[in-house]
Structure 1
Amino acid sequence: MKKKVPKRIENIIMNALQAGVVPRTGLGYIAVGREQEIATLLKDVEMVEEGAGTFRFVTGSYGSGKTFLLQTIKEYAMNKGFVVADADLSPDRSLVGTVFQKRGLATYRELMCNLSTQTSPTGGALGKILDVWLNEIWVDVAKNVEVGGIQGNALEDRVANKIYETILNMQEMVHGYDFANILIMYWKASRVNDAELKSKALRWLRGEYATKSEAKVDLGVATIINDNDWYEYIKLLSEFLVKIGYKGFFIIIDELINIYASTSAITRHKNYEKILAMYNDIMRGKARHLGIIMGGTPQAIEDLDRGLYSYDALKSRLESGRFGSNGMINLMQPVIKISPLTKEEIVVLLENIAEMHADIYGYTLMITIEDIIEFVKDALREKRSITPRSIIRDFIEVLNLLYQNKNFSLKEIMENFNYSKDVERI
């Protein structure tokens, strides 16, 4: 028996799929196929929980389901007790910027904006994480105090000691001293209900201070998170999150095509150099409880002139060995190449969507499994770029037409239906 989908989630899923984008929640209700790829990435989730660091690249053509897979892993990790942050690269967001264009910092800010947990699945979770942590410390200290045994400042001192215990070893990490001081500042602001100071501390942690002088005036700290060192703060945050009870930290960075598309060879080189530094750091065990997944098209990764493989040090680490050929699957390598959904899997996916559509609009589903099979066959006969994304979008359009034009049959609608085409976008 299928699990009932909450109406709110159904609407989120349907609206996103109609727009040709991946829903940020509820993917487990419609996910099909990708069993091997999902199993591999879930093994990475287990490794991160045990204290390791992992780094993967997921590659698939535009509209093939790559982003869908990444968001499915995000949802699973959150439900397992991880914190997950995701960001799409763009012309304004990359891994390294310039003196005047802080594109790496812009990516860090986007990751912090999209910081998500099971209870805050759509982002903006940083303040909630800190507030829950502080509240749990107060509750824990209060539980262990005998009635009448401690009062006033002594209780606060015990809370302070608990906080210092949490961040003690972090001060020895790169930038750990300032990071720890900001956390203490946030606690002190919480203690006296100083909303303005809490907001400033969060701004600092999210990398939103543009100058050191501004941070000095507001918070008394002489450093800020910048374009060159944001990854170090990702590692600090990962360490902190585990200390306060989360299983680990995953960051998902998609749309590597935007680095590939840069017209500047120097810009591409610097970004690939940053990816290499992060990859080496993770694989050498210098980052604990941290998983990184990056997504891109095959072109963005494998192109020898502009892609990741144009940077020899990355190519030597990521490309398949001489035995990885003849169509054999090797999902244990750093780059996971997602395979196309089968016709059968597409049919199951569309069946799930049809049932959801009927539930949202409150009608009895009249389209049959045979109708769906015929729709898929017809779509795949088209001599165009047909992807799961375009098939889903077209199918929802057909469902909308059937619902609003009850005097027309599926066959009549499909006779003159113009199937959409996906074009690679940069």
Structure 2
Amino acid sequence: MSEMNRKVPKRIAQTVINSLKGGVVPRIGLPYITVGRKNEIHALLHDVDIISEGGASFRFIVGRYGSGKSFLLQTIRNHVMDRAFIVADVDLSPERRLHGTRGQGLATYRELIGNLSTKTKPEGGALTLILDRWISSVQSQAANESGLTPGDPALTTLVDKKIYEVTSSLSELVHGFEFAKLLSAYYHAYVDGNDGIKLKVARWFRGEYSLKREAKEELGVNIIITDDDWYDYLKLFAIFFRLAGYSGMMIMIDELVNIFKIPNAITRQYNYEKILTMYNDTLQGKAKYLGIIMGATQQTIEDKRRGVYSYEALRSRLAEGKFSKPGARNLLAPVIRLEALNAEEMLILCEKLSIIHADLYEYTKKISTEDLAIFIKIEFERVGADLNITPREVIRDFIELLDLMYQNPNMSLNDLLASYEFSYTKSDAVSDNTVSIYTGFTV
């Protein structure tokens, strides 16, 4: 049964409608409203296959505000969680950057770790759940392989050995020794029922220790996660998650425009240098089981004075080739440029939303396909729509129409579309139903 024909649970429907009405992307329910982007999704899921085999990938998703960048990121987020990936996402802000002198880089790391999500815990905060399940799965595996029962000292020895195999394989990597030591400390605290130590280790992994002395006294490690090295720990986490039974790790960083907006040129360059490090690591095999996707506007990428292209090492790697053009974009390139949804795709999306809205508020849907086509025609024929119209704007307008029609049952779609704000005349709305109103549509 297709997503369009399935009734959406009210909890999910409410979240979808309220999120879209507020101009943000819902974190749940996306399969019910996904339209278009098939090629982009296919390209990104090809990356996922490579990551799960031990590779790494780096992509930029580029488009105007409201063009669907965040929607595509959330869609991929759901896809990869279904494939047993750990996902961490973050929106950059003035307080969260990739590099900073006042803890902005570490703030980004903390947000990423705080947002760790799995299929069974998609809302984030999954770090301790992942650690506990890893230990539990090792214990179960050891018991099944040996036939020993819980409480048997021989089983404890076998589990210790399996835990050591994981930690020792990490200890050879950069910062891996301390990382492995803390994993071991967490395991022993788990076995001993020492919740205090478990909490302290989790705090360390989340980057919440600010003094080396404090970490040394409480955990016996003379190192803490800092602005300079936080990305190294994400690479360690990616490998650990694989060893813990997951397919890999996907990091999603949106709102890259907040780096573009940094007034100080040197600070911007340091942030772009961090992007270059991530990019090189993924392409040169220095990172494993790790995918990185960043969302940005076209100006954020291409502006040669303040944007990513102001950093020559990135511009030379990311600049679009001579043959790529609108309608024939290279989706295997590092930068995926989002084309606008066409009128037919927008009509399908509005049809889905009208069904969800009617089910949510328990009324009989009265908007016909002809009504939808008229609405889409008006939106796409606005002055400047060919350059400026985005899915976000169309969706917000449409949900407003649905809300008003629900609250005013005697009001028709034509009445609402005849408002001054829509720059619309009623005579257009009641045009001959046999006339084609938009390329590809007849009513």
TM-score when scaled to structure 1? Answer: 0.94
Q: What is the rounded CA distance, in whole Å, between the counterparts of 2:215 and 2:365 in structure 1?
A: 59
Q: Any residues of structure 2 matched to 1:7-406 within 5 Å, and which?
A: 7-98=10-101, 101-146=102-147, 151-325=151-325, 328-383=328-383, 385-406=388-409
Task: Give CA-to-partner distance per residue, 1:25-84, whole Å, 9 cap, x none.
Answer: 221111000111111111111111121111111100000011101111111011011111
Deviation of the 1:379 alpha carbon: 2.0
Given that 2:63 and 2:298 are in contact with CA atoms closer than 8 Å, whether structure 1 keeps it comes out as yes
Pair 417,23 (structure 1): closer, same or farther in 2 beyond 3 Å:
farther
AA aligned to 1:71 is Q
Given that 1:394 and 1:419 are in contact with CA atoms closer than 8 Å, whether structure 2 keeps it comes out as no
Deviation of the 1:296 alpha carbon: 0.2
Q: What is the rounded CA distance, in whole Å, between the counterparts of 2:326 and 2:93 in structure 1?
A: 35
Deviation of the 1:147 alpha carbon: 5.8
| Secondary structure, counterpart of 1:144 in structure 2 | helix
Pair 419,76 (structure 1): closer, same or farther in 2 beyond 3 Å:
farther
Q: What is the rounded CA distance, in whole Å, between the counterparts of 1:4 and 1:403 in structure 2?
A: 19
AA aligned to 2:64 is S
| Secondary structure, counterpart of 2:48 in structure 1 | helix
Deviation of the 1:160 alpha carbon: 1.2
Deviation of the 1:327 alpha carbon: 5.8
Q: What is the rounded CA distance, in whole Å, between the counterparts of 1:310 and 1:187 in structure 2?
A: 46
Q: What is the rounded CA distance, in whole Å, between the counterparts of 2:36 and 2:420 in structure 1?
A: 27
Gaps of 5+ in 1: 421-426
| Secondary structure, counterpart of 1:223 in structure 2 | coil
Task: Give CA-to-partner distance per residue, 1:302-333, whole Å, 9 cap, x none.
Answer: 00110000110000000012333586321111
Q: What is the rounded CA distance, in whole Å, between the counterparts of 2:92 and 2:261 in structure 1?
A: 11
| Secondary structure, counterpart of 1:95 in structure 2 | coil
Q: What is the rounded CA distance, in whole Å, between the counterparts of 2:201 and 2:26 in structure 1?
A: 31
Q: What is the rounded CA distance, in whole Å, between the counterparts of 1:202 and 1:320 in structure 2?
A: 42
Q: What is the rounded CA distance, in whole Å, between the counterparts of 2:420 and 2:92 in structure 1?
A: 34
Q: What is the rounded CA distance, in whole Å, between the counterparts of 1:237 and 1:8 in structure 2?
A: 33
Moved over 4 A (4+): none
Given that 1:25 and 1:122 are in contact with CA atoms closer than 8 Å, whether structure 2 keeps it comes out as no
Deviation of the 1:419 alpha carbon: 6.0
Q: What is the rounded CA distance, in whole Å, between the counterparts of 2:148 and 2:209 in structure 1?
A: 45
Task: Give CA-to-partner distance per residue, 1:381-422, whole Å, 9 cap, x none.
Answer: 3336431101111111111111111121111122226369xx
238-247 or 208-217, larger mean C-alpha shift: 208-217
Pair 109,320 (structure 1): closer, same or farther in 2 beyond 3 Å:
same
Structural RMSD (CA) = 1.7
Q: What is the rounded CA distance, in whole Å, between the counterparts of 2:402 and 2:324 in structure 1?
A: 43
Pair 195,302 (structure 1): closer, same or farther in 2 beyond 3 Å:
same
Q: What is the rounded CA distance, in whole Å, between the counterparts of 1:175 and 1:275 in structure 2?
A: 20
Q: What is the rounded CA distance, in whole Å, between the counterparts of 2:160 and 2:314 in structure 1?
A: 45
Q: What is the rounded CA distance, in whole Å, between the counterparts of 2:9 and 2:412 in structure 1?
A: 29
Deviation of the 1:152 alpha carbon: 4.1
Gaps of 5+ in 2: 424-443
Deviation of the 1:229 alpha carbon: 0.6
AA aligned to 2:71 is F
Task: Give CA-to-partner distance per residue, 1:94-138, whole Å, 9 cap, x none.
Answer: 10011xx11111111111111111111111111111111111112
Deviation of the 1:151 alpha carbon: 4.9
Deviation of the 1:8 alpha carbon: 2.1
Equivalent of 2:411 in 408, 413, 420:
408
Q: What is the rounded CA distance, in whole Å, between the counterparts of 2:17 and 2:421 in structure 1?
A: 21
Which residue in 2 is equivalent to 1:423?
none
Q: What is the rounded CA distance, in whole Å, between the counterparts of 2:422 and 2:28 in structure 1?
A: 27
Q: What is the rounded CA distance, in whole Å, between the counterparts of 1:419 and 1:12 in structure 2?
A: 27
215-224 or 381-390, larger mean C-alpha shift: 381-390
| Secondary structure, counterpart of 2:295 in structure 1 | strand
Which residue in 1 is equivalent to 2:437?
none
Given that 2:99 and 2:105 are in contact with CA atoms closer than 8 Å, whether structure 1 keeps it comes out as yes
Which residue in 1 is equivalent to 2:441?
none
